[in-house]
Structure 1
Amino acid sequence: MRTDDGHDLRHHGDAEVRGTGADLTDLAVNVRADTPPVWLREHIAGSLGGLAAYPDGRAAREAVARRHGLPVERVLLTAGAAEAFVLLARALKVRHAVVVHPQFTEPEAALRDAGHAVDRVLLREEDGFRLDPAAVPEDADLVVIGNPTNPTSVLHPVALITRLARPGRVLVVDEAFMDAVPGEREALAGRSDVPGLVVLRSLTKTWGLAGLRIGYVLAEPDTVAELERAQPLWPVSTPALAAAEACVSPRALAEAAHAAHRIAADRAHLVAGLAEFAAEGVSVAGPAEGPFVLVRAPGAAALRARLRERGFAVRRGDTFPGLGTDWLRLAVRDRATTGRFLQALDQALTSA
């Protein structure tokens, strides 16, 4: 979906590596490397014996509710967070939808597909892409924001986000990457005191399950019921339900917490390396708090092509409203991969 201002809302990181025939190191997709872990693959495989029966999501739904300390009536399992955006767009009666950009483009695409006009609030680079609650129109009855935000990697304080909540407004907070933040600082999942709050979580990023499609919605029971009525029967497969239950277990939460600290250290290493190219005009939006960083680099489109020639796929930034052609998004990887990438970047910049 290309909007009138030229942004391709349906361009995602997988397009940078799909169908090229090249052997590329993937820095374009924000799924954690070396996932899913062996124990999770084995657990999912163990569910295949039950494929003859229709999926029963009760156990997984209860497990998610326990994980966040919520009643089960506040939980809805979905085929990834992307399905949740479609359900919100189709099921809710919306008069004035506002999406805070730059952010993941599927919420706006889903709203437009459902026939809604969408207003944008564009956060500014000079403000560090930080949220200004006063910029959101008072009459907006649906507001969508990411936290931490893809692609800026900004983690907005809860105190700022909750200032957007008010009676008569649905406040959608996409926390798809929150489990990659140490301690899940600034998370709203589990809160039931914020009016109109809808929190979306994805299990595909941290656990490498993008091909399985599993996520969930946390919201007021009436909102959950309304979204559930818009779902088809048996929307989440038996293997995905098995994954959901496993990924909110104490073992999985401990593993995710450990991974979040490792990602933070690997991100600091990447940012420090990128700082060495400041003289060439390379800068990092920040402070970054997610498993990816947003980078400004002059001539980013040509730079992206030269990086491909050197074996690295990176995400173009100009498809995100609020960003232009000088932006790239890089997934955080281990130090060895980052070292190879920084060498390739040095070569790509000097060969311009």
Structure 2
Amino acid sequence: MTAVMDTQGGDLRYLPGESLLDLGTCVNLYGPPPSVRAALRSIDPGRILAHPYGCEEAFTAAYAGFMGTTPDLLVPGRGITEFIRVLAQILPARQVAVITPDYTDTIRCFPTHLPPPAGVTETVDTRLTRVAQAMGTHPYVILSNPNNPLGLYLHRDRLIEICRAHPESVLIVDEAYIEFLPGFTELSMVRSGLPNVVVLRSPNKFFGIAGTRTGALWTRNAAIARRVAERKLNWTLSYVDTVLATAALADTTWAGQTRDALLRNAAELTDLLAGRFPGLAGNVPVHFRFIAVDDPLAGHRFFLRHGVAVRAFDGHQAGRISGLRVTAPTARQLAALKASIAGHGASQTDERARRQRCPIPS
């Protein structure tokens, strides 16, 4: 079970032989949309024979339209993680501060972390305060927004105010989950128009296509855009990646309906878990929920007993906070989860929880 803390969400290889509902992933479980399935079936094998000429341009044009920007402000790449790695190569490590807790690769690549003060519950305001402080002391500040794993979203307008107050510092915003917010186009920092803002985006999580690797870096900072572009691979995107991603981006009807359904399921998930986990943060605008617990391994075992894998975080690790991240399931999966928890035998479950020091009240 110690492997739990070192494993990315969605990777269940450390649980061999288990048939589990995977709520440890942060990918939209309704995906991929029908348009992607159709595009996959229609792929011409002959196109795979040649190099992916024009694919990068096709994806960039489609993604720019989806984001409400222009292609010339985007640098395409293989997901957000690639940009995090490239930025770690081109930016001096001591000049970069990360507002933690944050995403796995971010805290691994950048060693200067700015966590919440000891004993302080993390909120939108506590994170905004640290962003302002960090931009006053560091040339570069990295923030995931909405945050992974807490789900907190800092409004674009308040971040713009901070960026304008610190024009000498660059705010790098990982917006991997922005598409899960209604009105995401207006809420993205892409709309800031500021030269000291960098935005990392990818359609992989929202459209349920994490098996493809597509994404883009947006910025009006020509120097950063040029230095990142210089590190790109010769063939940034494959033909298959591009076909599937562009099909997803065009499926706006599916996107709207699925977003609404997923957020409704997240609210029901909150109701289901709130009475069992007092540390549940339910008032967040995204599709996953964070549960603050002192013993995440025990909490992880509780979910396993109900046939569910969740993402566990060890608060002793740098850049982490102790707890569990649980992704909203589909409506059918949610119904099965409710039945499992209700019918598992409350007294037996609670007794096991007490023996294992699982923070679930009786």
Q: Shorter-chain TM-score: which interval?
A: 0.7 to 0.9
Change (3 A) 1:61 1:335: closer
Compute the displacement of 1:137 (Å): 5.2
Aligned position for 2:123: 128
Identify the range of structure 1 (341-350 vs 200-209) with the bigger mean alpha-carbon deviation.
341-350
Displaced runs of 4 or more, over 6 A: none
Q: What's the C-alpha RMSD, in Å, of the aligned pairs?
A: 2.7
Match of 1:151 among 149, 152, 158: 149
Structure 1 residues 300 and 95: CA distance shift in structure 2, 3 A: closer
Q: Which residue of 2 aligns with 1:173?
A: 173
Structure 1 letter corresponding to 2:175? E
1:61-83 deviation per Cα after TM superposition (whole angstroms, max 9, x unaligned): 12222233323221111111111
Structure 2: unaligned runs, 5 residues or longer: 354-362
Measured against aligned partners, the alpha-carbon deviations of 1:32-85 in whole angstroms (never above 9, x if no partner) come to 114213321221443443112222211221222223332322111111111111
For 2:247, the equivalent position in structure 1 comes to 246
Q: Are residues 63 and 137 of structure 1, via their aligned partners in 2, closer, same or farther at CA, if it must alter by over 3 Å?
A: closer
Q: Cα deviation per residue 1:179-223 (whole Å; 9 max; x = unaligned)?
A: 111121762253252232111112111222111111111112442
Q: Which residue of 1 aligns with 2:356?
A: none
Q: Residue 144 of structure 1 contacts residue 171 of structure 1 at CA under 8 Å; is this kept in 2?
A: yes
The aligned counterpart of 2:137 is 139
Partner deviation per Cα, 1:124-166 (whole Å, 9 max, x = no partner) = 7524354223442512111111111111011111123224423
Give the CA deviation at 1:285.
Answer: 1.5
Residues 97 and 142 in structure 1, CA contact (< 8 A), matched pair in contact too: yes
TM-score by length of 1: 0.85
AA at the equivalent of 1:103: D
Residue 90 of structure 1 contacts residue 230 of structure 1 at CA under 8 Å; is this kept in 2?
A: no
Per the normalisation by structure 2, the TM-score is: 0.83
Task: Indicate the residue corresponding to 1:49 in structure 2.
Answer: 46
SS of the equivalent of 2:190 reads coil
Cα pair distance change 1:34/1:127, threshold 3 Å: closer
Could you say which residue in structure 2 is the equivalent of 1:314? 310
Unaligned runs of 5+ in 1: 1-6, 112-116
User: For residues 7 and 148 of structure 2, what CA distance do their matches in structure 1 show?
Assistant: 13
Q: How many equivalent pairs are there?
A: 334
> What CA deviation, in whole Å up to 9, does each residue of 1:82-101 have, x standing for no partner?
11111111133554111111
Contact 2:95/2:139 (CA < 8 Å) preserved in 1? yes
Give the aligned partner of residue 254 of structure 2.
255
What is the CA-CA distance between 1:295 and the residue it aligns to? 1.1
Match of 1:204 in 2: 204
- Check the 8 A contact 1:295/1:328 in 2, yes or no: yes
Letter in 1 for 2:149: P
* Local SS of the residue matching 1:89: helix
Where do residues 60-71 of structure 1 align in structure 2 (5 Å cutoff)? 60-71=59-70
Residue 121 (structure 1) shift: 3.6
Compute the displacement of 1:19 (Å).
Answer: 5.1
Q: Deviations over 1:247-304 (max 9, x none)?
A: 332xx23321221111111111111122232xxx533124121110001345431231
Whether the 8 Å contact between 2:30 and 2:258 is mirrored in structure 1 is: no
- SS at 2:191 equivalent: coil
Is the 2:102–2:320 Cα contact (8 Å) retained in structure 1?
no
Q: Does 1:103 align with 2:102?
A: yes
In structure 1, what residue type is equivalent to 2:188?
L
- Secondary structure, aligned partner of 2:141: strand
Q: Partner letter of residue 123 of structure 2?
A: G
